[in-house]
Amino acid sequence: MPNFTRRAIKESFLKLLSQRPLNQITVKDIVEDCGINRNSFYYHFADLPALLEEIISEQVTAIIEKHPTIDSVEEGCGTIAEYVTQNKRVIYHIYNSLSRDTYERHLMKMCQYVVSTYLETIPVGPYFSEEDKAVVIRFHRCALFGTVIDWLNDGMRDDIAAYFRQISRLRLGWPEPENSDARTSRV
């Protein structure tokens, strides 16, 4: 039963979070929604921040497992765009709460994964040191992260997936995979 209860708590929390801001959700709201008592909640989670941390961590892990390789800029950006678009209200409520740092930390982890996994598909040659690779990863990870944060700060009005498709089409500074028909550019 503990797995069922734990899952019910998470589902109730996410349902409530899609309806209202995080600061308007209490443990009482969650336990009433999923039909358990407060002790059951505290048996599974220390508090709401611990619940939120676990949910976000699990979602990021699931996304990473779903995409063990990333073969194009568009696929990598699309992975993040798909996640934020499907969870728009939940993310907006988390982002505009005191738990913003939890979301940002996991978003940065996802951006790191997308960029470093994609760059593993690129042949770089002997002129490209590990230090160079680390610099390129850091730059593009921060650009991807900053784009999502900018979108959030702008009220999530634009179609972020379309924006990422345009970036992919323009290929601003991204090298091409070895099997690409386009000219190979240096990182």
- What are 12-27's pLDDT values in tens digits? 999 999 999 999 999 9
Q: What is the CA radius of gyration of the chain?
A: 19
Q: pTM, whole model, 2 decimals?
A: 0.81
- What are 131-144's pLDDT values in tens digits? 988 898 899 899 98
Q: What single letter denotes the amino acid at residue 89? A: R
CA distance 58 to 127: 38
Q: Does position 6 have pLDDT exceeding 60, yes or no?
A: yes
* CA distance to 10, 13, 14, 60, 138, per residue, from 21 (Å): 16, 11, 11, 21, 32
Q: Which of 130, 147, 133, 146 is nearest to 175 (CA)?
A: 133
The residue ranges of DSSP E strands in 44-177, in sequence order, are none
